[in-house]
Structure 1
Amino acid sequence: MTSATSLFAPVETDLSILADNLKQLVGAGHPILSAAAEHLFGAGGKRLRPAIVLLASRATLGDRDLTPRHRRLAEIAEMIHTASLVHDDVIDEAELRRNVPTVNSIFGNRIAVLAGDFLFAQSSWYLANLENLEVVKLLSEVIRDFAEGEIRQGLNRFDTSLSIEAYLEKSYYKTASLIANSAKSAAILSETSNEIAEHLYSFGRHFGLAFQIVDDILDFTASTEVLGKPAGSDLIGGNLTAPVLYAMEENPYLEAPIEREFSQAGDIEQALTIIRESRGIERSRDLAAHHARLAMEELQYLKPCEATQALAALTDYQLGRAF
């Protein structure tokens, strides 16, 4: 099967430069933060978000080359994403991410929280130095959205009355906002038309929603080794995702073990069986495919080029993970 990183060919060199820059941008002068940064940015990951920024940049620049501001935008996007993961892992008390020990499991919660805060602060500093007020506003909104999404997720733990609409809204805040706003920002830095910038925003929004739905499907269908974290961990933590919400519509009996927060023996196993035997996963695949199609439609407004083709192939690939 094609790998995600093989689809990054038009920006492969750019991503290599980005990886080198990230450790220098984050770790300089702070021994503990330097160690945390080395761990974070050396832990692999697909670099999906900066790749989309770089592809959107190249798709809108035409024959012009990437500017330092485009490169810095991609670095900022990855720093913001990584900061959110560090905070997520503290909240979830996660010990593994991408099959690598989390910052909190190595350095403790205090350092992990400070490392996440530092990454947000650093990204804000570099963002301000882009000296483009519209881009500053867009990426500042992303940081606010992360907090909003995390608060909503925390308040809705084990809430069986959660709607699909509320789930998608939370998914936008936690995942799609960064992809949508950073893709739009790339177009703004390319000085393209407002229409093209908005099409890239919509592409990122629908791509991000499809990506999150697929991730939520994999929580029930993939192994711990593939996920890089324990399978079923979202459900166990009370985070009710599309497969769970659809399964509850079909079989309301699922509500009982969730509402008692899996406090009785066999509750988790019973819930997982109900979900896997329902049409919840199938309906979630349909929902992801719907948003992937909407994302692809937005790309037709971009000039055909290698970077645009890569964005389309990446959309297909991400959806394919669910099947």
Structure 2
Amino acid sequence: MTSATSLFSPVESDLQLLTENLKKLVGARHPILYAAAEHLFGAGGKRLRPAVVLLISRATLPDQGVTPRHRRLAEITEMIHTASLVHDDVVDEAELRRGVPTVHSSFGNRVAVLAGDFLFAQASWYLANLDNLAVVKLLSEVIMDLAEGEIRQGLTQFDTGLSIEAYLDKSYYKTASLIANSAKAAGLLSEVSPEMADNLYRYGKHMGLAFQIVDDILDFTGSAESLGKPAGSDLKSGNLTAPALYALEEQPYLEAIIEREFTQEGDLEKALELVQTSQGLDRSRELAASHAKIAVEALADLPASDSRQALLRLTDYVLSRLY
């Protein structure tokens, strides 16, 4: 399987610089924030979101390299993403993230909530200092979408009537919005045409949806070691994703188990087995592939370059995580 790191070779040095800058930007104010920043930005994340911003910068401005404003946008994107993860882990009471202890399990809930708030606030301040109202609007919408996605997920726990469309809407808010809007914002900073900006948004949206669907499949098929969290944790918490929603269409008993919230012994194991023996996983793979295909099509008018090729190969990488 291709690694994310090798895909990002056109911007590898840019991503290294980004990681060091983030530690300095976030940790400058207070020792506990520096410790949290070291913990967050040293946890071996894929850096997918800032990589997309940096690759679009290089693909749309081939003669300039990455501009300072694109670098700052990439940092803002990773700050927003990380802030959302810190808060998600508090809400979900998650002990591990990427195989290492979460901020709240290491530093306590109070510090975790405040660290997440600080990251959102700092991202907003740096965003305002880009002095580009259209970009400010795009990334401000992302912060609203992240909250909307988390609220929707909370309100639909153990809801066996959830539709695939509602699941995709929630997935957009929680994952794809940030990739879509930061991709478009990168295009706006490069002063691309309105049509190209919309295509970059479509690329980010559908690549983000494919990424989330794949993550949701891996929750059923991956090991705790590879996931960095216990397998089946989404289902256990009542977060119904594509594999379970498709399985519900053909496994009536699954509905009963979920609606009683796995209160009887062996319920969770039985539910996981019912999903595994249904068409849910195959149909979810097809759904992810269909969104990856739309993402590829959205880049048809982007001029050929190593960075464009990396953006295209990124959609293959997203799907290859399943195999």
C-alpha contact (below 8 Å) 2:53/2:186 kept by paired residues: yes
Q: Which amino acid aligns with 1:107?
A: F
Q: TM-score normalised to the size of structure 1?
A: 0.99
Q: How far apart, CA to CA, are the structure 1 residues paired with 2:57 and 2:239?
A: 35
1:69 counterpart SS class: helix
Q: How far apart, CA to CA, are the structure 1 residues paired with 2:321 and 2:62?
A: 31
1:253 to partner: Cα distance: 1.3
1:56 to partner: Cα distance: 1.0
- Segments of structure 1 that go 5 or more residues without pairing to the other structure are none
Q: TM-score normalised to the size of structure 2?
A: 0.99
The residue aligned with 1:257 is 257
Which residues of 2 match residues 174-323 of structure 1 at below 5 A? 174-323=174-323
- Segments of structure 2 that go 5 or more residues without pairing to the other structure are none
Q: Which amino acid aligns with 1:244?
A: A
The more displaced of 32-41 and 197-206 is 32-41
1:250 counterpart SS class: coil
Q: How far apart, CA to CA, are the structure 2 residues paired with 1:214 and 1:166?
A: 17
1:66 to partner: Cα distance: 1.6
1:159 to partner: Cα distance: 0.4
1:250 to partner: Cα distance: 1.1
The residue aligned with 1:90 is 90
Q: How far apart, CA to CA, are the structure 2 residues paired with 1:9 and 1:199?
A: 23
1:161 counterpart SS class: coil
- For each residue in 1:51-100, what CA deviation from the matched residue of structure 2 results, as whole angstroms up to 9, or x when unmatched? 01101111111212221100000000000000000000000000001100
Q: How far apart, CA to CA, are the structure 2 residues paired with 1:129 and 1:285?
A: 41
The residue aligned with 2:115 is 115
The more displaced of 208-217 and 63-72 is 63-72
Q: How far apart, CA to CA, are the structure 2 residues paired with 1:156 and 1:184?
A: 30
- For each residue in 1:270-310, what CA deviation from the matched residue of structure 2 results, as whole angstroms up to 9, or x when unmatched? 10000000010000000000000000001111011100000
2:239 counterpart SS class: coil
After TM superposition, which residue ranges in structure 1, 4 or more long, deviate above 3 angstroms? none
The residue aligned with 1:124 is 124
2:249 counterpart SS class: helix
Which residues of 2 match residues 137-176 of structure 1 at below 5 A? 137-176=137-176
Q: Which amino acid aligns with 2:99?
A: N
- State the percentage of identical aligned residues: 74
1:243 to partner: Cα distance: 0.1
Q: How far apart, CA to CA, are the structure 2 residues paired with 1:91 and 1:107?
A: 15
Q: Which amino acid aligns with 1:276?
A: Q
Q: How far apart, CA to CA, are the structure 1 residues paired with 2:154 and 2:81?
A: 19
The answer to whether residue 13 in structure 2 is matched with residue 7 in structure 1 is no
The residue aligned with 1:101 is 101
Q: How far apart, CA to CA, are the structure 2 residues paired with 1:229 and 1:288?
A: 22
Q: How far apart, CA to CA, are the structure 1 residues paired with 2:2 and 2:189?
A: 31
C-alpha contact (below 8 Å) 2:57/2:65 kept by paired residues: no
How many residues are matched?
323
Q: How far apart, CA to CA, are the structure 2 residues paired with 1:144 and 1:295?
A: 24
The residue aligned with 2:134 is 134
1:38 to partner: Cα distance: 1.0
The residue aligned with 1:50 is 50
1:29 to partner: Cα distance: 2.0
